[in-house]
């Protein structure tokens, strides 16, 4: 339950004689700076007036995660907001409809794998499986019992009892018909005991016995391996400290804009020989891709950790400045939608960055490959869009620095094993300090087709430059087509093509056939409108990334009408 004090202007009218209770509001002497909104999908929002932005901002909402939606995972389903796939079946249960379940529609819930044999003559007695840290289901029946053992006994003796929970201060709760709206927490929560057939319990118990036996049998081997691993780590750390202490002066470079020197010893240092071994001497078979910075190789360290090694090409046009800029920017950042920098290597003319390895490479490998496009169904694409938004919001607003990426495009969006988006390649990024909100440069870097007009033509960049790039990227995700794939079309590029279809009242034709399902049209068309708002010609007409998120989440229901963009001819990529 959400408790709150009365806001100025509200008055509670309690009429004991008539048995009524009311809430009245008057603005005669108070200015309204806060109000509540009930959205079409039942979410309560608390909004506060932001005088600086001249806009209402959301400061609280009744549903924080998807798991807060009642019955999100259906009957006998359990929800965990920390998982990439939030819904799962309780142990001993399986999806009722596998096709819907795989498409991300979990409302049909789960069914038992093995029926209960309660009350049957000669049948094995059922038992209970303990689930920790749970939010218990709805519609519990309260029983008057002395302790947990009595609660368990009463549930076991009642064939209609599906589960029980005993919590001090509340007592005994049982569930007889269905179990809906269950959540798993990482901590807190209560113990929930679900009733299962004896065969299901034996399967679970046997599995744990086997694991225990294997663990005990290999105990001595594991101890030896752990000791060897610790010895190797300590030896490597000592070697790194020696390198760091010896090279303090040679590993520092002064960055522009008055920032402090970047010290490479602030990051874990890898030895050149270590990365040569990890990549099998930079074998071309381990090459993941090529950028303006240089080639990227897959590698595996001695502890079996997989890495991606970004090696500065000696003939690279970006050179040392971008190398140090990327180290400076990304070493200060930590977010689940930004690629993680593990360390770097500087050995004479060799300069390398070491990142976490992304098994699914980059977004363009899926988006523009007809064979791989089918893996990006609508829910996956929407999750990728939301991940990019969260990463940009962190860069623009939520980190202790304000950072403009300046090179947002599909090849710089990496995908992990669950196809979650992570923004990468910060070699072109710029840090704003203090109250700075825009910059100017005579050296325009990035990729034409994703640059905002003011940046490509005048060298001016700001948060709205990234918003423009995001708008192009969003239209590519929705259409499955590259912005620069219109060689023989009068539209010049994807933005022009989208406006052409919109003016012809044929915007549905823009949608990638892989996701062109009428069930999703409302969401997809809203995303297209947001994309067109992001690629408007004037920066001040584009929404901020926080506003974009509100638009995509339908917190802003009535979208403004986008103004046609200034469409200029496609040019060759530049970096």
Interatomic CA distance for residues 563 and 534, integer angstroms = 10
SS3 content of the chain, % helix, strand, coil (to 5): 35, 25, 45
Reading the block at residue 328, the tokens are: 């400076």
* Contact predicate 353/326, CB 8 Å: yes
User: Hey, what's the torsion of the CAs at 43, 46, 50, 55, to 10 degrees?
Assistant: 30
Residue 123 DSSP one-character state = P
Interatomic CA distance for residues 478 and 494, integer angstroms = 11
Contacts of 573 (CB under 8 A, 6+ apart): 447, 448, 449
* Contact predicate 168/64, CB 8 Å: no
DSSP letters spanning 398-418: ISSSEEE-S---GGGEEE-TT
Interatomic CA distance for residues 384 and 415, integer angstroms = 9
Interatomic CA distance for residues 403 and 394, integer angstroms = 9
Q: Are strands 295-300 and 306-311 parallel, antiparallel or unpaired?
A: antiparallel
**H or E element at residue 210:** helix 198-217
* Contact predicate 58/47, CB 8 Å: yes
Angle at which helices 463-479 and 494-503 pack, to 10 degrees?
A: 70
Write out the catalytic residue numbers. 407
Distances (CA, A) of 226 to 232, 240, 300, 431, 467: 10, 21, 19, 42, 48
Reading the block at residue 37, the tokens are: 């909104």
Minimal CA–CA distance to 150: which of 132, 171, 178, 179? Answer: 171
* Contact predicate 360/415, CB 8 Å: yes
CB atoms inside a 10 Å sphere around CB 477: 23
* Contact predicate 445/574, CB 8 Å: yes
Reading the block at residue 200, the tokens are: 């299901």
Reading the block at residue 107, the tokens are: 């409302």
């Amino acid at each position: 339950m959400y408790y709150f004090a009365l806001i100025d202007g509200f008055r509670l009218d309690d009429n004991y004689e008539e048995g009524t209770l009311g809430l009245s509001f008057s603005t005669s002497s108070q200015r309204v700076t806060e109000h509540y909104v009930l959205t079409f999908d039942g979410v309560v929002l608390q909004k506060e007036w932001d005088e600086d932005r001249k806009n209402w901002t959301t400061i609280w909402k009744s549903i924080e995660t998807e798991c807060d939606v009642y019955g999100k995972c259906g009957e006998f389903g359990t929800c965990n907001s920390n998982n990439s796939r939030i819904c799962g079946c309780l142990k001993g249960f399986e999806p009722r409809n596998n096709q819907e379940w795989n498409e991300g529609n979990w409302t049909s819930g789960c069914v038992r794998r093995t029926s209960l044999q309660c009350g049957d003559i000669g049948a094995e007695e059922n038992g209970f499986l303990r689930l920790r840290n749970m939010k218990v289901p709805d519609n519990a029946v309260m029983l008057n019992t002395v302790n947990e053992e009595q609660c368990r006994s009463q549930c076991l003796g009642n064939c209609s009892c599906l589960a029980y929970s005993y919590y001090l201060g509340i007592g005994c709760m049982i569930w007889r018909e269905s179990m809906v709206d269950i959540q798993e927490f990482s901590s807190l929560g209560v113990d929930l005991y679900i009733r299962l057939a004896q065969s299901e319990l034996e399967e679970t118990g046997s599995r744990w016995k086997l694991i225990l036996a294997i663990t005990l049998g290999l105990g001595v081997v594991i101890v030896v391996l752990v000791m060897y691993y610790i010895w190797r780590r300590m030896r490597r750390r000592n070697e790194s400290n020696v390198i760091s202490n010896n090279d303090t002066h040679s590993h520092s470079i002064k960055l522009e804009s008055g920032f402090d020197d970047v010290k490479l010893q602030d990051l874990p240092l890898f030895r050149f020989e270590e990365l040569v071994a990890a990549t099998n001497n930079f074998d071309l078979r381990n090459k993941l891709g090529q950028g303006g910075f240089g080639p990227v190789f897959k590698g595996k360290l001695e502890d079996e950790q997989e890495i991606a090694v970004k090696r500065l090409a000696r003939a690279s046009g970006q050179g040392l400045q971008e190398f140090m800029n990327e180290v400076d920017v990304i070493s200060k950042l930590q977010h689940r939608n930004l690629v993680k920098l593990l360390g770097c290597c500087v050995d004479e003319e060799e300069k390398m960055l070491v990142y976490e390895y992304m098994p699914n490479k980059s977004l363009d490998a899926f988006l523009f490959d007809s064979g791989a496009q089918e893996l990006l169904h609508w829910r996956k694409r929407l999750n990728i869009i939301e991940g990019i938004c969260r990463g940009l919001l962190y860069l623009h607003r939520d980190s202790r620095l304000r950072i403009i990426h300046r090179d947002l495009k599909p090849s710089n969006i990496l995908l992990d094993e669950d196809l979650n988006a992570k923004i990468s390649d910060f070699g072109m990024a710029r840090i704003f300090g203090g109250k700075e909100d825009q910059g100017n440069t005579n050296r325009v870097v990035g990729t034409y087709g994703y640059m905002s007009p003011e940046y490509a033509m005048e060298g001016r960049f700001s948060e709205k430059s990234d918003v423009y790039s995001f708008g192009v990227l969003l239209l590519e995700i929705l259409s499955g087509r590259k912005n620069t794939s219109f060689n023989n079309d009068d539209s010049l590029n994807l933005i022009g093509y989208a406006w052409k279809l919109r003016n012809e009242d044929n915007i549905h034709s823009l949608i990638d056939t892989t996701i062109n399902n009428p069930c999703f049209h409302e969401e997809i068309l809203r995303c297209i409108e947001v994309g067109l708002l992001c690629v408007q010609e004037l920066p001040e007409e584009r929404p901020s990334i926080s506003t974009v998120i509100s638009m995509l989440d339908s917190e802003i229901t009535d979208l403004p009408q986008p103004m046609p963009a200034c469409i200029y001819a496609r040019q060759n990529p530049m970096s």
